[in-house]
Amino acid sequence: MAKDKLKVGIIGAGIGGLATALRLSAKAGFEVDVFEANSYPGGKLSEFRLGEYRFDAGPSLFTMPQYVDELYQLARPTNIPPLPYQKMDTVCHYFWEDGTRIDAAASPDAFAREVEEKLKVPGSVVLQKLEDSARKYQLTGDTFLHKSLHHLNTWTTSSVAKALLQLPRLNIFRSMHQDNRKRLKHPKLVQLFNRFATYNGSDPYRATALLNMIPHFEHGIGTYFPEGGMFAITDHIYKLGKEKGVRYHFDSPVEKILVKDGRARGLLVNGKEKAFDLVVSNMDVFFTYRNLLADQKAPERMLRQEKSTSALIFYWGIGKQFSELDLHNIFFSEDYQAEFEHLRQGKIYEDPTVYINIGSKYAPEDAPAHGENWFTMVNVPYDSGQDWDKLIAQTRNRVLKKLSRMLGTDIEPLIEVEDLLEPRSIQRKTSSHLGALYGTASNSQMAAFLRHPNFSRRIDDLYFCGGSVHPGGGIPLCLLSAKIVEQEIKRTHGG
């Protein structure tokens, strides 16, 4: 007699939930239902339109596309093509108030030449820095990102032994900034490399220098742009899942995880109990415990960890084309240390670093012929009850002044349509605790170990994926969390 399929209930159709659903449904033996509170998939990785402009709501930088390709290989669909994307020759354009501009090529050699020309720093300094980033990633990436840190056998492999032997060279007890200052010296180059801390909402003056592996993602592995914009990633994984038989239920907020005899046994959705053999939560782990497992003991120490930063985003349809701008553009603050000091204190610095992403540069259909879709972002603290309306109005003013000054054009009159995302609406739209973009902060050396594992230690058959759990936030890591959940389920249930 054929074995019954295991029924899996997934809470949330964020990128982690979508990828987990696809991975399990691509394997024989699992029947998957995804319940999503919103009426659309993707969570933070969603899209919206304003008049003639289309905007990606959250992520704008696509790295590690191999993890999307891996999902495609697993699904082997009959009538869906692979996700089309292009590698970017220039990863970011950096601007300073004194007129210095660095166009950071993906190619380490070209980047080093540009730095030598613009900052008079020998190119070898940049090349050695990038070699160090690659080494840090190669030594630790496999252990910290691809596996659960919560099983003994993760720590008894030869790759861990190799990493431990190299510990002194990983500089884990220095901050990113200390390491960058020692290696790079030039304040602008230090600032440029410090900004990689913001990849996971961290503070370069506190986060361990191990995070200096991040530049390798851009200059070693590359940055990419999916055809049609970032939402194409969500749409692709969603459609692959659909083809594999995943049942998606939108406008379906889960109210409770049903636990019986120490095992997750189902979900309460729209007042109805639904039985499942396994439950995976892609909802922020804080709210999973507080709202869906309110009668269970919660891992309080983990839930109390410092949150990552949040963001203030002005979505502006700009009625002009700026030839000096490209896909990723960063306008640095004069005093980066003061900016992070403010974030630490729950404030926004008066001269914030401004990031502008313009998807329409590579997806012209996203803006009218005369315009561009600006995703204008400033890092802000997570929500701790600040007077956000006042802060937003103040910051909007300052950002407009800064950009007008640095671009030599009055920006405000060019805004044709406008919308806003801020810590309170990030929490409201995606249930992300305090509006943090990347779950918990990575500011301590222990951060990786303190993040919630991809399974529950107290409740059997309950798993976790997405940016608030191991290995952390950002699209690539959320996709890896789905892979680890699949490994965990395989470990306990076969398949």
Contact 173, 445 (CB under 8 A): yes
Q: How far is the CB of 166 from ligand FAD (least distance, A)?
A: 27
Contacts of 487 (CB under 8 A, 6+ apart): 147, 148
| Binding flag, residue 381, ligand FAD (CB under 6 A) | no
Q: How far is the CB of 440 from ligand FAD (least distance, A)?
A: 12
- Burial pattern 154-184, b for ≥16 Cβ within 10 A else e, equals beeeebbeebeeeeeebbeebbbbebbbebb
Q: Which of 6, 8, 9, 13 binds ligand FAD (CB under 6 A)?
A: 13
Of the listed pieces 13-21, 112-120, 238-246, 487-495, which binds ligand FAD according to CB under 6 A? 13-21
Taking residues 124 to 163 in sequence order and writing x for each that binds ligand FAD by CB under 6 A, - otherwise, the string is ----------------------------------------
CA dihedral 469, 391, 97, 124 (to 10 degrees): -10
Q: How far is the CB of 376 from ligand FAD (least distance, A)?
A: 11
Q: Which two tokens stand for residue 117?
A: 């020309």
Q: Which residue has the tokens 């390798």?
A: 216
Contact 136, 216 (CB under 8 A): yes
| Binding flag, residue 475, ligand FAD (CB under 6 A) | yes
| Binding flag, residue 264, ligand FAD (CB under 6 A) | no
| Binding flag, residue 474, ligand FAD (CB under 6 A) | yes
Q: How far is the CB of 468 from ligand FAD (least distance, A)?
A: 6
Q: Which of residues 425-454 bind ligand FAD (CB under 6 A)?
A: 426, 430-432, 437-438
Q: Which two tokens stand for residue 16?
A: 């982690």
Q: Which of residues 298-327 bind ligand FAD (CB under 6 A)?
A: 311, 313
| Binding flag, residue 470, ligand FAD (CB under 6 A) | no
Q: Which of 478, 484, 485, 489 binds ligand FAD (CB under 6 A)?
A: 478
* Cα separation values, 58 from 52, 197, 388, 425, Å: 19, 18, 19, 12
Q: How far is the CB of 261 from ligand FAD (least distance, A)?
A: 23
Q: How far is CA 333 from the centre of its chain?
A: 23
Give the number of other Cβ atoms within 10 Å of residue 305's Cβ. 18
CA 153, CA 468: separation in Å to the nearest integer? 24
Q: Which of residues 17-56 bind ligand FAD (CB under 6 A)?
A: 17, 35-38, 43-45
Footprint of ligand FAD (CB under 6 A)? 11-17, 35-38, 43-45, 58-61, 253-254, 282-283, 311, 313, 426, 430-432, 437-438, 466-467, 473-475, 478
